[in-house]
Amino acid sequence: MINTVIFDMDGLLVDSEPLWGKAMREVFATVGVTLSPELTSQTTGLRTSEVVSYWHSYFKWNNKSVETVTTEIVDLVTHKILTEGKAMEGLHYILDYFRDKDFRIGLASSSPLRLIQAVLQHLEIGSYFQAVASAEFESHGKPHPAVYLNCAQALGSDPLQCLAFEDSVTGMTAAKAARMRTVVVPEAHKRQEPRFVLADLQLPSLLAFNDAYLEQCKAPRSALNLCNYYPLVKPFYGHHY
């Protein structure tokens, strides 16, 4: 019986991915590194320290430490989110939906805890979550399942009782590795990513989730259609996708 839902944060609850990209490009420019939007998208879902280490191993700058660059990126993206960050479409709908059904609600993010707390305060949604987990404190970040497993443990839930919401392949992989049913809500330009077929459900917006989809996610895995459910979404979503 699925009685728990765990959400990713960046790109799913808050429209922060463009702000992460801007912050990374601005900070990396201070060490002589130019990253295109295409390059920054390659590391979506990873912890900030992993992103910086990845690019440091490639570009080999030496005027700032990896730790300094990591801190500067987190500081800058926190500022950008607090001044520019907006809720993703359907944020309050989906949180109210699961709260009304008495689900345990958790958050499992690759972002540092201080950034998570800033977002929860900025969007005024902290009261919805019974547990918040940051991969900052794990030995491995997503796509390793540790942050999802620890969030489930903090909620008192078995991973098999959990439904995870993600927007990236990296996050989806982490949730599936934790043996959780997984709903992906990718950005429009990423919806044709073939690896999303591994999710139990793909939707164009948090607003599209409903009782019928919840029942789909509760069904035995062999009965699940692992492709997009756009034909079922169309009556609800009309011409908007």
Question: Using one digit for the tens of pLDDT, what is the confidence trace for 18-54?
Answer: 898 899 999 999 999 998 878 877 787 678 888 899 8
Q: Give the other-Cβ count within 10 Å of 197's Cβ.
A: 11
The residue with greater pLDDT, 226 or 175, is: 175
Is 17-84 the same fold as 4-14+86-237?
Answer: no
Sign of the Cα pseudo-torsion (16, 24, 43, 35, in order): positive
| For residue 135, pLDDT beyond 90 | yes
Q: Mean of the per-residue pLDDT values for the chain?
A: 89
* Cβ-based neighbours of 51, under 8 Å, separated by 6 or more: 24, 43, 73
pLDDT value for 223: 41
| Per-residue pLDDT reduced to its tens digit, 50-94 | 889 989 998 999 999 999 999 999 999 999 999 999 999 999 999
Q: Which residues are catalytic?
A: 8, 10
87 secondary structure, DSSP code? B
- Fold of the 4-14+86-237 domain: Rossmann fold (3.40.50)
pTM: 0.84
pLDDT of 13 strictly over 60: yes
For a pLDDT cut of 70, what percent of the chain falls above it? 91
What is the pLDDT, as a whole number, of residue 189? 84
Considering the domain 17-84 in this protein, what is its CATH number? 1.10.150.240
| Residue type (1 letter), 54 | Y
Q: How far is CA 108 from CA 28, 36, 232, 240, in A?
A: 26, 27, 28, 29
Q: What is the dihedral of CA 80, 82, 88, 89, to 10 degrees?
A: -120
Question: Is pLDDT above 50 for 241?
Answer: no
For the chain, domain boundaries: 4-14+86-237, 17-84
pLDDT band at 159; cut points 50, 70, 90: very high
